[in-house]
Amino acid sequence: MNTKLTSAIFVGALSVFGASAASAVTVQNINWDPNAVNGNPGQPADDFVGKTTYTQWFQTASAENTFSPRLTIDLVNLGALAGSSLTGTGIFAEFNGINSVVGDPSPDTNPADFATNVQLTYGFGGIVVNSVDLTNPAVPVFNLDLSSAWVNIYSDAALNYGNTLPETVDAVDTTYSEPFLKLKIDTLTLNTIVAGSNLFGSVDAYFSVIGGAAASYFDTDNQTNTNGGVSDLFYTSSSQFKNGDNFTTGTAELTGDTRTVPEPSSLALLGLGMMGFSKFSRRKFAA
């Protein structure tokens, strides 16, 4: 064996690894490219961007995946929301610049559909209102307790989300044995303004990945949250409650980074290549 052959073994092993790392991935029929910024026209600078629509409300129950009667918004008595839990459900409409409509846009993205015969939905809750500071009634301050907060993302082949509003259990059922992602809310900032007969709100939050089938792809610690710690994903949303309503709808965006996790077969091939290189090196120096 000569130097050229040695180099071929080494380069070949790395090329197998590199080819695997460059491929799009699929988890629970959700398809995306961890390096989407290089692949899809118009993809924002962030490696991962998920766009969603959602419904939210206040309720008394705060336990995970638990839904109870919704509380009516009374703008002259927002303090009555103390002890309630901000809860909601949503669905992803876009994943890294890819929608779920084949043939749209034209030319289509690659892959054409981020969710193959499934819907990617989510639920959140346990965001408990400790109190509402009404020192300035036009700018109420909601003091929140996140110790019981939960966020779960699900892949589901039932395709039943969106049949009724507001959605509840259809958002948190799944075809699989575990969620696509389980998230922890590290920090959450809620800004609200009362104008006319509306309560306008916006949320900025940082999430950490704590479980789920796709956890290894999203657990990257690349976000610095408002407490100075590290998180995996940044979430921003906006919505408005009308006086007398018991739920509202809004839009949200989830951004962050995803990474390629090599398949075991790729790692095995790389290992075999390196073993061959190592054995040759030992034989060469022994001679």
pLDDT in tens, 169-193: 889 989 999 999 999 999 999 999 9
**Is residue 73 within 8 Å of 241, Cβ to Cβ?**
yes
**Mean pLDDT, rounded, for 119-147:** 97
Give the model's pLDDT for residue 259: 86
- 236-287 tens-digit pLDDT: 999 999 999 999 999 999 999 888 886 654 444 444 444 554 554 455 545 5
- Specify whether the CB–CB gap between 181 and 256 falls below 8 A: no
Burial tier of 4 (Cβ tally within 10 Å: 0-12, 13-18, 19+): exposed
Cα 58 → chain centroid: 22
Q: pLDDT value at position 3?
A: 52
**Which H or E run includes 107?**
none
Nearest CA among 92, 102, 104, 105 for reference residue 30: 92
Which pLDDT value is given to residue 1? Answer: 56
| Average pLDDT score over residue span 51-69 | 96
Q: Specify the pLDDT at position 38.
A: 45
Share of the chain above pLDDT 70, in %: 78
When pLDDT is averaged across residues 46-73 and rounded to a whole number, the result is: 93
Quote the pLDDT of residue 167: 83
pLDDT at position 15, please?
45
Domain ranges of the chain: 24-259
Quick one: tokens of 237? 């949303």
Q: Report the alpha-carbon distance of residue 39 to residue 97 in Å, rounded.
A: 10
Tell me the average pLDDT across 128-157.
Answer: 98
Beta bridge partners of 266: none
Token pair, residue 90, equals 């949503």
Q: Quote the pLDDT of residue 23.
A: 65
Q: Do 155 and 116 touch, CB atoms closer than 8 A? A: no
Per-chain mean pLDDT for the chain:
84
